[in-house]
Amino acid sequence: MTAPRQHAPFEGATILGIETSCDETAASVVRWTARSPRVLSNVVGSQHELHRRYGGVVPELASRAHLERIVPTVRAALDDAGVCATDLHAIAVGNRPGLIGSLLVGNAAAKAYAWALGVPVIGIDHVAAHLAAGLLDAEEPAWPALGLVVSGGHTHLFRMDGPLEMRLMGRTIDDAIGEAFDKAATVLGLGYPGGPLLDARSSDGDPTAVRFPMPRLTARSVRRGTAPAAQDAPGSHGTQAASGAPDDATPNARTLDLSFSGMKTALLYAVRGVPAAPNRAPPPPPEPLTERRVSDLCAGFQAAAVAQVIDVLGRAHDALAAGGGAPRTLLVGGGVSANRHLRAEVARFADARGMSLRLPAMPYCVDNAAMIAGLAHWRLAAGEHDDLRLAPSARSTVGLS
């Protein structure tokens, strides 16, 4: 664990944030005022219209759209904030992880503004920034914290000792939770993007009508799971980070990793029927996909996904408390932190464990640039910034060193 950075951001520091990692072109101005990062403007241009007909983000279309929209988006953010470009102390940009072509556009723009204005450019990790979303417009919470990122690309759990000090405790070994919601919505014919539609539809359903499996991941099963890149292999950062128990000594110990593939398969079988097996009686046909059934499947799927998250949070809290470092705050961020059921359940969990909860306000759940500029305040205060060699990267390494 690295030592916490001591410096506090300086009053009046004003940072422009730029975010283009996926299909949102976003810019925001955040000023440090009275011990908090205050959002002066938050402009987010979604490209959903562009990608809807393909049922997912088309990377080349996304980067072309960023190119057209980035300058007007930055201008709108400065206008809304009522600041001139010359008032800025730094330009922050999400430089990893994401679609490389999309990241390139935001990074090139940020470096051009920084060079023209003679101010530093600050590269920000998008995953870490999602947790800073819960710190916007409020004073810093008590540390240590549990930090949970639930987005379309990530489901990561961190121990945090400050906005910049994070240690990965667990992560999904297959789909991210938002990706699982999006795919479930596609299977159920709800439309795109699926997460919010599944959320809305769940309120009409009975979450107990269909049961979905809850995975029990162990060090051994995680090692055998989806092969991740060596630099961020989940097996080497799961339970081990929380309990100090080496994976090899306790291969059957549960990790703090998550998996959504079993739930997805169960949903597919519920909708299309269980495939026939050789030398077995043919399985019964699936129940008709009535409106009622769709709502029940949404509610059941959502409840099981959130229950898995709460289970992992509970075991992470136990592990840290047993080591004498009980977290005092629960920070949650990422697109799925907009999910109503997840918000209610994490609130209940934090309350039961005596932790204060930091959930982003709704505009800061999905991708935005306020979270990028917000986190950059702590980097700037710590004397950390990048130069014009800043390069985008498709991968995040946050919490791994």
**For binding to ligand KG4 (CB under 6 A), which residues are involved?**
22, 151-153, 178-179, 181-182, 193-196, 199, 334-336, 338-339, 366-367
Nearest approach in angstroms of CB 344 to Zn ion is 22
Residues 133-192 that bind Zn ion (CB under 5 A): 151
In angstroms, what is the minimal distance from the CB of 336 to ligand KG4? 4
Binding partner at 78 among Zn ion, ligand KG4, none, C-beta below 5 to 8 Å by kind: none
- What angle, 0 to 180 degrees and rounded to 10, lies between the N-to-C axes of helices 177-187 and 291-322? 170
Taking the least distance from each CB to ligand KG4, the nearer of 179 and 257 is 179
The smaller minimum CB distance to ligand KG4, of residues 197 and 268, is found at 197
Q: Which stretch binds Zn ion (CB under 5 A): 110-118, 282-290, 298-306, 360-368?
A: 360-368
Minimum gap (Å) between residue 383 Cβ and ligand KG4? 28
Residue placing its CB nearer to ligand KG4 in the complex, 120 or 194 = 194
Tell me how many residues contact Zn ion (CB under 5 A).
Answer: 2
Measured torsion, CA atoms of residues 58, 59, 65, 68, in degrees rounded to the nearest 10: -160
**Which listed option, Zn ion, ligand KG4, none, makes contact with residue 106 (CB within 5 to 8 Å by class)?**
none
Sheet holding 14-19, edge to edge: 36-46, 24-33, 14-19, 90-96, 121-125
Q: How far apart are CA 240 and CA 217, in angstroms?
A: 13
Beta bridge partners of 184: none
Do 122 and 376 contact (CB within 8 A), yes or no? yes
CB-wise, 5 or 183, nearer to Zn ion?
183
Select from 155, 147, 198 the least CA-distant residue to 176: 155
Q: Which is nearer to Zn ion, 174 or 179 (CB)?
A: 179
Cα(356)–Cα(135) distance, integer angstroms = 12
**Bond from prior residue into 144 cis (ω within 30 degrees of 0):** yes
Residue 360 partner contact from ligand KG4, Zn ion, none using kind-dependent CB cut-offs of 5 to 8 Å? none
Residue 25 touches Zn ion, criterion: CB under 5 A: no
- Give the nearest distance from C-beta 334 to Zn ion in angstroms: 6
Query: Considering beta carbons, is residue 22 or 131 the nearer one to ligand KG4?
Result: 22
Provide the strand spans (E) within 34-107.
36-46, 90-96
- Residue 139 CB, shortest distance to Zn ion, in Å, is 24
Q: Is the dihedral of CA 149, 154, 155, 161 positive or negative?
A: negative
The listed partner (ligand KG4, Zn ion, none) that binds 386, CB under 5 to 8 Å by sort, is: none
Angle at 143 between CA 329 and CA 303, to 5 degrees: 25
Minimum distance from residue 299 beta carbon to Zn ion (Å): 25
Our CB check for ligand KG4 shows the closer of 24 and 165 to be 24
Instruction: Decide which of ligand KG4, Zn ion, none touches 372; Cβ closer than 5 to 8 Å per partner kind.
Output: none
Token duo for residue 387? 């130069």
DSSP string, 189-256: T--SSHHHHHHHHHTTS-TTSS-------BHHHHHHSS---GGG-GGGTSHHHHH---TTT-TTSB-S
Question: In the structure encoding, which two tokens stand for residue 332, read together?
Answer: 């949650």
327 binding partner (options ligand KG4, Zn ion, none; Cβ < 5 to 8 Å by kind) = none
| Cα atoms in the Cβ-side hemisphere of radius 13 Å centred on 244 | 6
Instruction: Give the nearer residue to ligand KG4 in terms of CB position, either 104 or 380.
Output: 104
- Where does this chain bind Zn ion (CB under 5 A)? 151, 367
